[in-house]
Amino acid sequence: MDNRFFRPGIILALSCILMYTSVRWILMQDGEYYWLSGKEVSRITYIISCLGLIFMTSLVFWLKDRIRLENLFIILYLALEIMYLLVVPLSSTPDETEHMLRSYGISQGDFVPETNEASEGGSYVPDNINYMWNRSGSTIKDMRDNLMMEASGTRVFLTYSNTALYSPITYTPQTVGMFIGRLICHKPYVWAYIGRIFNILTVGFLIFTAIRISPVGKHIIFALSMLPINMYESASLSGGALAYAVTVLIISYTLWLRYVKSGTMNKREKLWLYLLLLFSASCKIVYVPFVLMAFIVPIERFGDKKRYFFHIACATVMILLASVGWVSISSRYLIEYTTGVDSAAQARFVLMHPFNYLQTIVNTFMQVGEWIIKTFFAASLGYFNVDGSMVMIIISMLTLAYVSTNDRLVIHRIASGPDNSGSNDMQSFMKEKILLISAVMISCLLVLTSEYVQWTAYKNPSIDGLQGRYFLPLVFPFLLIIKRKVFVFEPETENDCMCRMPYCIMFICFVNLMTVVTLFIHYV
């Protein structure tokens, strides 16, 4: 028998058996359903999970030699995101109620939210929006029953201080979706779902572009972006997925400008660079250090030194206005929610006792390091009330490890680029390594410190509130840093952009389908 069909067939059969047993185990954990009977839930999950796995696996193996990797990504991404969109009720992801209110507020012009007497940021919204979500009990049935609910004419002031801290640029896709939704109907649930759809499309487009243009690590970007935690975030109104996509794209784009692009940048390419720097500086302040990647763009791309320093100055001003400027505005919304938190005193403690704080960081990773790794692989979703199976976690970890190990850092020569000759000397890559290391370390420190200052009791010996998803934007640059070999220059071949790891992609589809089934069973 032809090995091209025999081996995939055996692996697919084993995967279907594993999928069946995993679904059966998940069903046994939750015997009560809000909408359908147990038999109906079992029948639907078995059929959808196995058919979905067979369809996606067949698609991967049929297209792997016929389609570019970024095109395969967008097909699988959109297919899976439709499933996530259907099985995850509104407000099932952390703080989605507040993300919804923030997006709605921006769509009506509240770029800088108003405050109440308690200095809580918020907006005036239809009063029945207040009854749209129930964190402890939102179900798929609730979404079906209330999808056509009309917005009330009475408006009330609702607060969202935790999301008021974020720049309005963070919510660009959600806001555009909500604005369009408000133009075509008066149904809050429909507004929210249109906002979700725009978030999915924007994140997908940015990652598609990153895979397409990145000179290195295309399969790594693919695998990271298809992890269930990112797919889950992308299908919500959260800005976390956009921050990840922008971070990956700015790394890919600056590497493309350095190693693939020949001659000077045109106006459109300069505009892309400025937009990426703006979004990197605005989406989440903790990922601002990745604007340092702009320094790897050669002077030749700008034309000469005079133009180079002019653009560096303009970009610096823009980044400072977008990041530091917004921090100064949003500080008015900084409210201490947790007992024992004193943000000002905590910040002083970090600055005055750096070695004590370093010990706190070490304590934190020793105490909650396992939790961070598990939540990075979607071990706990929703408001930490939806548990993923250990099978899903192990497969995700092994798949990502295999892809990261076997995806070579190869940069293809461009014959027409006189300034792209590219030395294989390790010294020529030191600048990229130094900038990547600096960006990752500073961003990691900012993630830890933001949680310590805002959510952790004063002088607590460990940091509270950390989740694996906060570190997702740091993984791609981290993997580029620790790869054994530096970038290698080789001629481009016909199959360089094709799928070279079909089995890994099949396993990625498998864990996403398992995650969708887990969410469906919990919320049905």
The answer to whether 365 and 148 have CB atoms below 8 angstroms apart is no
**242-256, 271-285, 326-340, 405-419: range with lowest mean pLDDT:** 405-419
Amino acid symbol at 110: D
The answer to whether 281 and 318 have CB atoms below 8 angstroms apart is yes
Give the pLDDT band of residue 146 (cuts 50, 70, 90): confident
Give the pLDDT band of residue 407 (cuts 50, 70, 90): confident
- What residue spans of 108-239 are helical by DSSP H? 140-146, 161-164, 172-184, 188-213, 218-225, 228-234
What the block records as the tokens of 401 is 């490890």
The answer to whether 320 and 312 have CB atoms below 8 angstroms apart is no
Q: Which residue has the tokens 């929703």?
A: 382
Residue 40 and residue 167: Cα distance in Å, rounded? Answer: 44
The answer to whether 176 and 198 have CB atoms below 8 angstroms apart is yes
Does 42 map to a domain?
no
The reported pLDDT for the residue numbered 424 is 43
Residue 194 and residue 187: Cα distance in Å, rounded? Answer: 11
**66-70, 76-80, 242-246, 289-293: range with lowest mean pLDDT:** 66-70
Q: Which residue has the higher pLDDT, 329 or 522?
A: 329
Average pLDDT taken over every residue of the chain: 85
**15-24, 280-289, 355-364, 479-488: range with lowest mean pLDDT:** 15-24
Q: Which residue has the higher pLDDT, 72 or 18?
A: 72
Q: What pTM does this model have?
A: 0.90
Residue 500 and residue 350: Cα distance in Å, rounded? Answer: 47
What the block records as the tokens of 353 is 């006792």
Number of domains, the chain: 1
Does 43 map to a domain?
no
Summarize pLDDT for 453-480 with one digit per residue, the tens.
988 999 999 999 899 999 999 999 999 8
133: left (phi over 0), alpha (psi -120 to 50) or beta: beta
Give the pLDDT band of residue 182 (cuts 50, 70, 90): very high
What the block records as the tokens of 210 is 């990153």
Summarize pLDDT for 54-105 with one digit per residue, the tens.
777 776 767 667 788 899 899 999 999 999 999 899 888 888 889 999 999 9
Considering only CA atoms, which of 431, 488, 414, 489 is closest in space to residue 262? 414
Does 53 map to a domain?
no
Distances (CA, A) of 216 to 198, 256, 260: 28, 9, 11
DSSP structural state of residue 150: P
Summarize pLDDT for 334-346 with one digit per residue, the tens.
777 777 888 889 9
Considering only CA atoms, which of 132, 175, 179, 129 is closest in space to residue 154? 129
pLDDT exceeds cutoff 70 at 22? no
N residues, the chain: 524
Residue ranges making up the domain that contains 212: 96-523
Does 71 map to a domain?
no
Give the pLDDT band of residue 425 (cuts 50, 70, 90): very low
Does 459 map to a domain?
yes
pLDDT exceeds cutoff 90 at 521? no
**244-248, 273-277, 340-344, 358-362: range with lowest mean pLDDT:** 340-344
Does 336 map to a domain?
yes
Does 9 map to a domain?
no
Distances (CA, A) of 408 to 68, 249, 473: 17, 19, 20
Residue 367 and residue 371: Cα distance in Å, rounded? Answer: 8
SS3 455: helix
Does 61 map to a domain?
no
Residue 412 and residue 422: Cα distance in Å, rounded? Answer: 10
